[in-house]
Amino acid sequence: MAQVVLGVAGGIAAYKACELLRLLTEAGHRVRVLPTAAALRFVGAPTWEALSGQPVASDVWSDAHLVPHVRIGQQAELVVVAPATADLLARAATGAADDLLTNTLLTARCPALYAPAMHTEMWEHPATAANVATLRERGAVVVDPAVGRLAGPDSGRGRLPEPVELFRLASRLLARGAAVPDLAGRRMVVTAGGTREPLDPVRFLGNRSSGKQGYAFARTAVARGAAVTLVAANVDRPDPAGVAMVRVETTAQLYDATLAAAAGADAVVMAAAPCDFRPERYAPHKLKKDGAGLTVRLVPTVDVAAALGERKPAGQVLVAFAAETVTGAAAEANARAKLAGKRADLIVLNQVGTGAPGGFGTDTNAATVFAAAGDAHAIPPRSKDELADAVWDLVVPLLSGRPV
């Protein structure tokens, strides 16, 4: 497994890094924790040492004969800083080297992931924005903080993303190795989950989509440096680290939110499963079972992907999906017809239903991607994160003519 450096800066969210450390070590990685002196006021060295099995120091003088301020960075395969305070981001951006963590950031040549956590005003300050931009320009992945409860009574953007999502993001960076963040500076829109069309206040027409594949697209795009808006329909999962979340319920809401988010986006990935039909009439009160049957007339919903294709500006890449229960030539014909009808650049055909290698609710998926240019790319069964990365590999060349 990998050599990982976990830098911890002096913020109240330092306690959450303990959970991130546990996830990394349980995955088999060898983790060296480098807290700042301020971080040790929140979580003591014995905690970090017990959880990592490695010595902990914040200064460059401990074990000086081992030259730790150079060796730790040289040996690292990934550096994660969580939480990254405004002060730490400033020191990293300016190349300060006044403790063991900042020295390591200068010597490391591996991918670096920063997870900022601070009060909203500090995150939005022009100085912090400039420091974040500098780090991103140098190839670091700096995820936007989450929205939620902060220190004290305050709430807003500045909360550290959940440790499990930071772990998943770190895992994608390790999987990509030394690959550059090839979506840096790009704006991506991803949809996920299944819409629900209400019949009455307690019942709805829906589908089995879990949102896992859409969330994987969002997560892997962040790992590749993109700014991501995730439009999620009825998904009960932790928010992927670093994304801007928009939550919707119905297909009409998905349509409005996605078209609004797609303005100016470099690519849109329609991984959501919109309901194709909705009840013609909504009953304002719960329908009662009286022993008689119930007839519900269904009418078509708006085709969100087709609407995006119709309005797609020059250079924007549209990725549509075709979930099919048929196989072989029939499935391919359906997918290619949707590719043309929705004016998409790529369409991802995946088999769903009993016996399928992936699909709704699973952690794995398989697909064939058809391009508007006519070629096809088979993606064998793999994790949904790996499948998403394989599709992004096909999107990247299509963006080559679009300025960053």
Instruction: State pTM to two decimals.
Output: 0.93
Do 41 and 75 lie in a common domain?
yes
Contact yes or no for 257/231 (Cβ under 8 A): yes
pLDDT of residue 218: 98
Do 165 and 194 lie in a common domain?
no
Q: What CATH number corresponds to the domain at position 123?
A: 3.40.50.1950
**Is 208 a member of any domain?**
yes
Do 352 and 241 lie in a common domain?
yes
Q: What CATH number corresponds to the domain at position 371?
A: 3.40.50.10300
pLDDT of residue 70: 87
Q: In what order do the strands lie in the sheet with 78-84?
A: 30-35, 3-8, 78-84, 112-116, 141-142
pLDDT of residue 76: 96
In Å, what is the CA distance from 343 to each residue of 154, 309, 403? 46, 5, 22
Q: Which residue among 141, 176, 211 closes a domain?
A: 176
Instruction: Please state whether the peptide bond connecting residue 300 to the residue before it is cis, i.e. omega within 30 degrees of 0.
Output: no
β pairing state of 146-149 and 197-198: unpaired
Specify the residue for token string 């900022």: 116
pLDDT of residue 352: 83
C-alpha Rg value of the chain to the nearest Å: 23
Compute φ and ψ for 77, nearest 5 degrees: -105, -15
Q: Any idea which residues carry the catalytic annotation?
A: 207
Do 27 and 162 lie in a common domain?
yes
Q: Which residue among 176, 207, 230 closes a domain?
A: 176
**Is 181 a member of any domain?**
no
pLDDT of residue 358: 64
**Is 182 a member of any domain?**
no
**Is 99 a member of any domain?**
yes
pLDDT of residue 292: 83
**Is 207 a member of any domain?**
yes
Do 314 and 355 lie in a common domain?
yes
Do 214 and 163 lie in a common domain?
no
Do 132 and 260 lie in a common domain?
no
pLDDT of residue 355: 62
Do 12 and 156 lie in a common domain?
yes
Q: Which long-range contacts (CB under 8 A, 24 or more apart) does 397-401 make?
A: 398/267, 398/317, 398/345, 398/346, 399/186, 399/266, 399/267, 399/315, 399/317, 401/315
**Is 112 a member of any domain?**
yes
Do 227 and 142 lie in a common domain?
no
Residue 307, domain extent: 187-398
**Is 195 a member of any domain?**
yes
Do 343 and 277 lie in a common domain?
yes
Residues of the chain predicted below pLDDT 70: 61, 63-68, 353-359
Q: Which residue among 151, 176, 201 closes a domain?
A: 176
pLDDT of residue 154: 85
**Is 104 a member of any domain?**
yes
Q: How many whole angstroms separate alpha carbon 226 and alpha carbon 228?
A: 6
Number of domains in the chain: 2
Do 170 and 193 lie in a common domain?
no
Do 105 and 64 lie in a common domain?
yes
